[in-house]
Amino acid sequence: MSIQNPPRVKLICAVTFAPRIKLDDIMFSLERAFGMVDSKSPVIAFDHTDYYQAEMGPDLKKTILSFDYAFKPEDLWIAKRTAIDIESVFAKDGKRGINLDPGYLETSKLVLASTKNFSHRVYLNEGIYAEITLIFADGKFQKLPWTYPDYLDKNIFDFLTKTREGLKNNLR
């Protein structure tokens, strides 16, 4: 039996941000770290939970960016550590103004990085874990018991589906 290389994947980053932060400024920082943004989901209201509200304030927004960058899945922990550094640039008085959740999309799943351990997460390196957030089965993305509700928003779901199709076409 031979060991195979992992499939090519698409780097993505979910961006949750406070109204005081300009999305263009966030994108500039992310592009310096990860390469050019090649696609962006519609910006949606981040109102599925109030998890970040105490730290970041009300009226939060969310978008997902994808990057035109040859990304190796084993580097996900590096992307998360880089995202943490970028978050600190936008912090004010010790409170974040943005939350960045990098991950990668492959044709069979969406994987996100996290700093929090849980039963469905796998340790990667330097305090970073990975979780499969969505799987692609029966012709569409399927949620898992731990999938965050904002990833099921129609605009986000449609963006991920379209990005997956682009990746699939590029692999041909």
Q: What is the pLDDT of residues 35-63, one digit of tens each?
A: 999 999 999 999 988 889 999 999 999 99
DSSP assignment of 47-94? -S--TTHHHH-SS-EEEEEEEEEEE-GGGHHHHHHHHHHHHHHT-BTT
The predicted structure's pLDDT at residue 39: 96
How many other C-beta atoms can be found within 10 angstroms of the C-beta atom of residue 140?
A: 11
The predicted structure's pLDDT at residue 1: 83
Phi, psi of 137 (to 5 degrees): -150, 150
Helix (H) or strand (E) holding 39: strand 37-40
For the stretch 106-142, pLDDT in tens is 999 999 999 999 999 999 999 999 999 999 999 999 9
The predicted structure's pLDDT at residue 8: 84
Domain residue ranges in the chain? 9-171
